[in-house]
Amino acid sequence: MNPAPHEAPSGAPAAYEHNGQRVTRAAFYAIACDPARNVAVQACAGAGKTWMLVSRMLRALLDGCAPHEILAITFTKKAAGEMRQRLHEWLGEFARQPLDALTGELRARGVHPERALEARAALQNLYRQTLASGRPVQIRTFHSWFAALLGTAPLALLQALGLPAHFELLEDDAQAVRAVWGPFLHTVVADASLRADYAAMVALHGRSQTHKALAAALAKRVEFALADAAGVVDASVPPFQEQFPDLRAYAEPAHALRDAACVQRWRALAKTLGAQTGKTPQKAAQALDAALDCADPQQRLDGLRKALFVAAQDRLTKNLEKFAPACAAEPELQGLLAARRQHAAWQHQQRMARLARCLSAQFADLKRQHGWVDMNDVERAAQAMLADPVLSGWVQERLDARVRHLLIDEFQDTNPLQWQALHAWLSGYAGAGGGATAPSVFIVGDPKQSIYRFRRAEPQVFIAAQAFVRDGLGGDLLSCEHTRRNATRVIAAVNQVMD
């Protein structure tokens, strides 16, 4: 048996909190294990997160929930197997234990003492009843559950997402990713615009860094596609004309230096600066005139900068700060340089966006040719299905498993798209007062333990989910800093040293 963690020693920091307030261990577990409550638990390593999750399953079964109406989601097959084994072992042990021992087990899981006396016989019989039901608790990985949803998807939805009706699920898309670069490069070479984009990127950043950036975009292809469809990609880096309206008439900021009036102004400034006493302003004035003699506007701008500014910074050299003509020219030159940087950033973003669209399209074509569907496709399809109020209900009916209790382990490893799918489904219940069809929600995790960034996991999603449980579902936020892996005093001593 795996007992709940004990109280922290006297004088140690509080181990348990409920909605930001310190509570006892008993109060903490009474809330965490209550299947009627919506709860988000942030718990450190070794705090007994799986213990809480499986205990909540037991409480739900005791309250009359059918096993298949409980859906527990985790991130790996190993974790799902361990959770399933823990539940199976507990049910077997409780079936063999005397009633007096079961009273303590129930009370450890937040059951009121009087209710524990009444429920211990039911707990003893729970193993037999669960086996007799013929349908076990649903303990699945995110991807296996989403894949099951995809198997029920209407043909129209598959067509809208560009997915084949008959497909092979790729749990590992590494081979497909390697295979797409050849078709992608052939497409780039055949298209003059893409070829120019690619050549510019390689010239500025090198082939290796360019491919690394494109590979990162391909890894987030679903998020990229959704953002692109919403206009976010093109709007994320505005052109310099929006930030520098005085330059909106020019295709590039340096082109302002082609205007006769602008050149005349800078010539006058150079003349005034050259009239100053001392070699420094006179030398700078000569450099300004030489820059303005350049035919290329970019070379003109570079020359003006070199004449007046510190090599590594866009500000006047210290020796020129005391000369009024140089100080008067500084803001205009700084504006031109800032606009050029903005223009370079916009060009880079536009090139990357065009190349990323091409790479994603080639990857989609490659998958269609082979009848492949990858995990990104599965997640996107799940998000589309669960976001649609009609399809969401239809999906549940087709699966014949109306979920009454949803439990998610290691929530810090959830990626934004997975959370969007869940949020789309659960937000229909937000503010509904916990109606008969609303599943109770229990999430547990610790953002500090996120280990799946390579799978697009984002710990900030946990914070968003906590806010949804609290504000959208009227639930409770729990925090547990107790761990069975180290004594509390040891942790306190380490924290003191680190501070």
CATH number of the CATH domain containing 489: 3.40.50.300
**102 contacts 124 by C-beta, under 8 angstroms:** yes
Q: Is the pLDDT of residue 205 over 90?
A: yes
Helices (H), 166-237: 174-190, 192-205, 207-219, 221-229, 232-235
Q: Is the pLDDT of residue 457 over 70?
A: no
Q: Distance between CA 18 and CA 41 in Å, rounded?
A: 9
> What percent of the chain is helix, strand and coil (3-state, nearest 5)?
65, 10, 25
**139 contacts 50 by C-beta, under 8 angstroms:** no
Q: Is the pLDDT of residue 469 over 60?
A: yes
Q: Distance between CA 87 and CA 67 in Å, rounded?
A: 11
10-19, 121-130, 137-146, range with the lowest pLDDT: 10-19
pLDDT of residue 433: 46
Average pLDDT on 137-154 reads: 87
- The amino acid at residue 364 is A
The verdict on residue 481 lying in a domain is yes
- Among residues 147, 205, 158, 178, the alpha carbon closest in space to that of 362 is found at 178
The verdict on residue 223 lying in a domain is no
pLDDT of residue 167: 87
Q: What is the DSSP letter of 412?
A: G
Q: Distance between CA 354 and CA 201 in Å, rounded?
A: 12
Q: How high is the mean pLDDT of the chain?
A: 88
Residue labelled with tokens 């009706």: 165
pLDDT of residue 8: 37
The verdict on residue 450 lying in a domain is yes
User: What order do you get walking across the sheet with 70-74 strand by strand?
Assistant: 21-22, 16-18, 476-480, 39-43, 440-445, 405-408, 70-74, 138-141
Instruction: Give me the half-sphere count of Cα atoms (radius 13 Å) on the Cβ side of residue 246.
Output: 9
Count of other CB atoms within 10 angstroms of residue 19:
12
The verdict on residue 356 lying in a domain is no
pLDDT of residue 223: 85
How many domains is the chain partitioned into structurally? 1
**477 contacts 441 by C-beta, under 8 angstroms:** no
The percentage of residues in the chain with a pLDDT greater than 90, rounded to a whole number, is 62
**339 contacts 247 by C-beta, under 8 angstroms:** yes
Q: Is the pTM of this model over 0.85?
A: no
Per residue in 338-385, pLDDT tens?
A: 999 999 999 999 999 999 999 999 999 999 999 999 988 888 888 888
The verdict on residue 36 lying in a domain is yes
What are the helix and strand counts (H, E) for the chain?
A: 22, 10
Give the CA diameter of the chain.
103
163-172, 321-330, 430-439, range with the lowest pLDDT: 430-439
Q: Distance between CA 498 and CA 31 in Å, rounded?
A: 33
Q: What is the DSSP letter of 400?
A: T
Sorted by sequence, the CB contacts under 8 Å of residue 255 that are 6+ apart come out as 297
The pLDDT-based confidence of 435 (bands split at 50, 70, 90) is very low
Domain that holds residue 126: 16-149+384-498
100-109, 443-452, 487-496, range with the lowest pLDDT: 487-496
The verdict on residue 183 lying in a domain is no
The percentage of residues in the chain with a pLDDT greater than 70, rounded to a whole number, is 88
Higher pLDDT, 115 or 449: 115
pLDDT of residue 306: 96
Chain centroid to CA 161: how far? 22
Query: For residues 55-91, b (16+ Cβ closer than 10 Å) or e, as one string?
Result: bbbbbbbbeebbbbbbbbbbbeeebbebbbebbbebb
The verdict on residue 354 lying in a domain is no
Distances (CA, A) of 127 to 2, 62, 91, 101: 18, 11, 5, 16
The pLDDT-based confidence of 7 (bands split at 50, 70, 90) is very low
Q: Is the pLDDT of residue 9 over 50?
A: no
- Among residues 257, 241, 463, 235, the alpha carbon closest in space to that of 353 is found at 235
pLDDT of residue 153: 84
The verdict on residue 131 lying in a domain is yes
Q: Is the pLDDT of residue 295 over 70?
A: yes
Higher pLDDT, 395 or 343: 343
Bridge partners of 9? none
The pLDDT-based confidence of 286 (bands split at 50, 70, 90) is very high
Bridge partners of 42? 445, 479
Bridge partners of 138? 71
- The amino acid at residue 451 is I
- Among residues 409, 425, 406, 417, the alpha carbon closest in space to that of 461 is found at 417
The pLDDT-based confidence of 4 (bands split at 50, 70, 90) is low
Residue labelled with tokens 């004088």: 11
Instruction: State both tokens at 162.
Output: 């560009």
Q: What are phi and psi of 179, to 5 degrees?
A: -75, -15
- Cα of first residue to Cα of last residue in the chain, in angstroms, is 37
Q: What is the DSSP letter of 5?
A: P
